[in-house]
Structure 1
């Protein structure tokens, strides 16, 4: 008896994580999966793999194929699915940790989707009539995953316990079938944001106050997401263990998915990837200089201001105007503008809105202004070289120790060229509030006009709305997003609906103070683990119990307090922010996942 118990306890385990965003960057779940891999490989080694859909355009850069030798259960399961006539790609994911990965080509089974949908209705009453094409793709992926996992348990032959961790509904459409067919696996399902929560929060005022009044099925039909919401609810109820990323989202699970999560799995980052040690202040100065060059090109042709007295704030994320708190940002910035004027502040704040919206092109006037500024720089550098050479010669050959008149060293050609270039650059037009030609006016533009944040000369808060993501090939900044973040002074993310919120965490990882809200998973978690979070460069806007106007006033005061800090205080704060970022390293947060996998193993055996 004792030998049997000992054998059971030492039984080998194998972990598979399934996600639509495995090797397929769509949103935040890609960041969760990818950054967590090194910590998972550290624990599981070769007993770990990931599965997801195969898309040639993304796999080309991140996937390295391996030859299937049928020497391992994993390879034999891949061969089995291939023999059924389906395309399966087996290899390494080319990221830190280099894990094994199995990607399924959904096109190889898409012709069978209607048959699968019929079975889903007969067996589980999941209605997929009129569903969008994405639903068909997820059903196809689910069927391939079902084939694979079912065979993998056969290959393990009872010698290895298989734990499968499903992320979001898009990778979990097979979970009801796996449960019905009693496939011998332990399952964890994580919802990173409920389907209904995202829709309702963006459309229903006081969403959180009304959360217990909604009929999930009625609302799903209303928003045209019945299939998606049903798959999500079924996965949550059929999994051995239900988890989510924050206490905020746990409440949604209770009312929309009909189950209270057993565990909260907070999100982390591979912090070591961002660590700059003593270099972070130098990197901030370096990238701030690039942002300053854009600011000079954008604003100085009409209204120059002291760059040494200028602070760069930014917000970023998907264009969800209310959910991401862009509305609150604008109202708070209008109040900040008023407070800075009233106090006679010598500072200037440039606020960047970084999100993606449909546009025709970068505004030609914005590009032209930047190009002319570059020409001014080239002229100045040419004059600098000419003056330097002549000054050196004059100094070496003169007995006069006084500094000569430098103007006599500048050729008349360069004088005229510089004067003409500057003259053509200067304008009476107000600097643009948006850098691109939008296809349609949106809520950010409308509310900047409503609050009169239009880059007027007396405004202390200037606005730059950049309706595209920041990449290194961008002609306006010449920085990638991470470098842009490092160059800023403060990240502002007062979200109304944010199950977790990677943007403030990404700021912390780069030594940049940040503002979040208590309705974001990250902000809520910070308040739970750290009483003096403000001392560490994290401000939290109270959106749970305050009215919108009260929250806007609180945010304005937080921003004003930051503006009033001196340079030394800001440097000390950046040091403190970076020093606590390790709290969110996956090496510290993986233990939450370990617990979920252990719990799933115990519950599946009951």
Structure 2
């Protein structure tokens, strides 16, 4: 018989990305909020940094009536400056934004106490460590204040901290309010990401790396220390995929208690006629852009490819994508013209005026603009990795090349000055997406792609890729909607060939075959909705609450 899970009465979730769009964690929190709100209506509180002080934050709707008595008490008695309101996302959960700057004056005292209680070594802190830690500590103090003012020991309370940046708050609560059950979620180990980003082989040598030693070598001691100590001390330690769990075991010396896979909501995917109309518009926009930039006329049967995400050239596999595209130009089996996009925000300057001028015109151009592979000027044109590699490979986007590559180095927020369409409105215009990641704890971008019925190519070094393989019980192929390539520390060239071959095969498929693949891609996305993945969170709540009870009993004895 299945055991009955303990369920919380209140949930507090702290993250640097609450009402603050930075990366994938924002997607995790904001898409899951509605599912939690449906079950724990207004008993879920998201806690974020008030980095918008004095500026309008479109994601936060302040409501001075919410928790007004506690807010006044927190300011007067605990010196906490907080704003309370709603997160402007589906579900509209309650949000507490904290002004953490006053805590900087007590920084050394806080770090000293963390060392004393939990051996957190903040001695070599630099960069964003101080800012994140002061926010994290302030978040812990805020939850303590809320708990003492509004709740009792009979209330089952969960505090979930995301990433090393919120570890200190979880540790603070563990000591100050032991009745609160703590969960720590690492979405990527700071040291694993650093090893991969520093061009060291991560996977073949994972068993041989010592996390503490690597932290010293890569100047990551403070971040690694808070992450490791939090993982060891909380009531429930979690991560987002099996592949990241391997890192946790080796580098943090602690396996996860529960794996919380990243789901999402598909409410942003248009349906029926709207989908068809939007796809048509996106394709027309992309083909028109190619004409204005490259001076070529590409037909509607052009194969449009794309990759996107953070500008981590090696970790996200942007380098191997370019390598594959370069090899594709010489592939005899390629049946269609290929227009490939790299939608990755770089150190962007201004939209190109010459391109803006052309885009205003209805004329069909037959001559390319100067530098015909980028839509916006960069501040570092001569030291950009994408442009450098294209130059090195001799990719010129000349009219006779069967494969043409366009780099869009900005956030597609609808206001970039060139495309002026949001990312989700553009991605459905692609025929195929490529995400050949080397380091990718989960991988929202390929998941979003299949949600828009766009088949994708990814690797088994991405949590998403591994999960897709687990659905099938073997390596997933392009005909299944997602092609998962085996990737290791050393098979870069082989991966580039597999990508090239799959694009080539796809270019020769009939409309009927493609329709089936698009349907299978969407079916995979459906299996990753939060309604299926939320159960892992319930499991984590249960583990945390049971371990907190044990902790309290031990403390009393």
Equivalent residue number for residue 578 of structure 1: 522
Residue number among 112, 116, 129 corresponding to 2:110 in the alignment: 116
> Which secondary structure does the structure 2 equivalent of 1:487 belong to?
coil
- After the TM superposition, list the runs of 4 or more consecutive aligned residues in structure 1 that deviate by more than 4 angstroms: 8-12, 68-71, 428-431
Is the 2:62–2:86 contact (alpha carbons within 8 Å) kept by the matching residues of 1? yes
Is the 1:523–1:540 contact (alpha carbons within 8 Å) kept by the matching residues of 2? yes
Deviation at residue 96 of structure 1 after TM alignment = 0.9
| In structure 1, C-alpha distance between the alignment counterparts of 2:210 and 2:489, rounded to whole Å | 24
| In structure 1, C-alpha distance between the alignment counterparts of 2:255 and 2:368, rounded to whole Å | 60
Equivalent residue number for residue 260 of structure 1: 255
Is the 1:77–1:148 contact (alpha carbons within 8 Å) kept by the matching residues of 2? no
1:314 to 2:311 alignment: no
Deviation at residue 362 of structure 1 after TM alignment = 2.9
| In structure 2, C-alpha distance between the alignment counterparts of 1:81 and 1:530, rounded to whole Å | 54
Deviates more, 1:511-520 or 1:155-164: 155-164
1:239 to 2:234 alignment: yes
1:249 to 2:193 alignment: no
| In structure 2, C-alpha distance between the alignment counterparts of 1:81 and 1:232, rounded to whole Å | 30
Deviation at residue 70 of structure 1 after TM alignment = 6.0
Residue number among 346, 351, 362 corresponding to 1:362 in the alignment: 351
Deviates more, 1:154-163 or 1:118-127: 118-127
> Which secondary structure does the structure 1 equivalent of 2:428 belong to?
helix
| In structure 2, C-alpha distance between the alignment counterparts of 1:130 and 1:547, rounded to whole Å | 36
Higher helix proportion (structure 1 or 2) = 1
| In structure 1, C-alpha distance between the alignment counterparts of 2:240 and 2:401, rounded to whole Å | 40
| In structure 2, C-alpha distance between the alignment counterparts of 1:489 and 1:462, rounded to whole Å | 15
1:605 to 2:549 alignment: yes
Residue number among 159, 162, 165 corresponding to 1:164 in the alignment: 159
Is the 1:492–1:514 contact (alpha carbons within 8 Å) kept by the matching residues of 2? yes
| In structure 1, C-alpha distance between the alignment counterparts of 2:273 and 2:257, rounded to whole Å | 41
TM-score of the superposition, structure 2-length normalised?
A: 0.91
Deviation at residue 80 of structure 1 after TM alignment = 3.0
RMSD: 2.5
- The equivalences for 1:201-350 within 5 A come to 201-277=196-272, 279-300=274-295, 304-339=296-331, 342-343=332-333, 345-350=334-339
- The equivalences for 1:473-484 within 5 A come to 473-484=415-426
1:67 to 2:79 alignment: no
Deviation at residue 218 of structure 1 after TM alignment = 2.5
Is the 2:195–2:201 contact (alpha carbons within 8 Å) kept by the matching residues of 1? no
Return the index of the structure with the highest Cα Rg: 1
1:44 to 2:40 alignment: yes
| In structure 2, C-alpha distance between the alignment counterparts of 1:450 and 1:166, rounded to whole Å | 44
Distance 1:216 1:11, change over 3 A: closer
Residue number among 483, 492, 517 corresponding to 1:539 in the alignment: 483
Deviation at residue 137 of structure 1 after TM alignment = 1.8
| In structure 2, C-alpha distance between the alignment counterparts of 1:84 and 1:133, rounded to whole Å | 28
Residue number among 78, 81, 86 corresponding to 1:92 in the alignment: 86
| In structure 2, C-alpha distance between the alignment counterparts of 1:49 and 1:486, rounded to whole Å | 33
TM-score of the superposition, structure 1-length normalised?
A: 0.84
Distance 1:121 1:333, change over 3 A: same
Q: Deviations over 1:197-219 (max 9, x none)?
A: 11101223431011122222222
Deviation at residue 266 of structure 1 after TM alignment = 0.9
| In structure 1, C-alpha distance between the alignment counterparts of 2:6 and 2:244, rounded to whole Å | 35
| In structure 2, C-alpha distance between the alignment counterparts of 1:556 and 1:183, rounded to whole Å | 55
> Which secondary structure does the structure 2 equivalent of 1:350 belong to?
strand
> Which secondary structure does the structure 2 equivalent of 1:136 belong to?
helix
> Which secondary structure does the structure 2 equivalent of 1:255 belong to?
helix
Distance 1:295 1:240, change over 3 A: same
Between the two proteins, the alignment pairs up a number of residues equal to 541
| In structure 1, C-alpha distance between the alignment counterparts of 2:23 and 2:369, rounded to whole Å | 38
Distance 1:547 1:120, change over 3 A: same
Distance 1:77 1:251, change over 3 A: farther
Is the 2:160–2:170 contact (alpha carbons within 8 Å) kept by the matching residues of 1? no
Residue number among 10, 16, 34 corresponding to 2:12 in the alignment: 16
| In structure 2, C-alpha distance between the alignment counterparts of 1:363 and 1:120, rounded to whole Å | 50
Equivalent residue number for residue 120 of structure 2: 126
Equivalent residue number for residue 398 of structure 1: none
Is the 1:121–1:127 contact (alpha carbons within 8 Å) kept by the matching residues of 2? yes
Equivalent residue number for residue 26 of structure 1: 22
Q: Deviations over 1:305-331 (max 9, x none)?
A: 441331110111111111000111111
Deviation at residue 177 of structure 1 after TM alignment = 2.9
Deviates more, 1:570-579 or 1:167-176: 570-579
Is the 1:82–1:88 contact (alpha carbons within 8 Å) kept by the matching residues of 2? no
Deviation at residue 337 of structure 1 after TM alignment = 1.3
Deviates more, 1:242-251 or 1:454-463: 454-463
- Provide structure 2 residue ranges, at least 5 long, that are not aligned to the other structure: 551-557
Is the 1:81–1:147 contact (alpha carbons within 8 Å) kept by the matching residues of 2? no
Is the 2:63–2:85 contact (alpha carbons within 8 Å) kept by the matching residues of 1? yes
Equivalent residue number for residue 504 of structure 2: 560
Distance 1:602 1:126, change over 3 A: closer
1:524 to 2:466 alignment: yes
| In structure 2, C-alpha distance between the alignment counterparts of 1:28 and 1:186, rounded to whole Å | 25
Is the 2:141–2:169 contact (alpha carbons within 8 Å) kept by the matching residues of 1? no
Distance 1:428 1:308, change over 3 A: closer
Deviation at residue 182 of structure 1 after TM alignment = 5.5
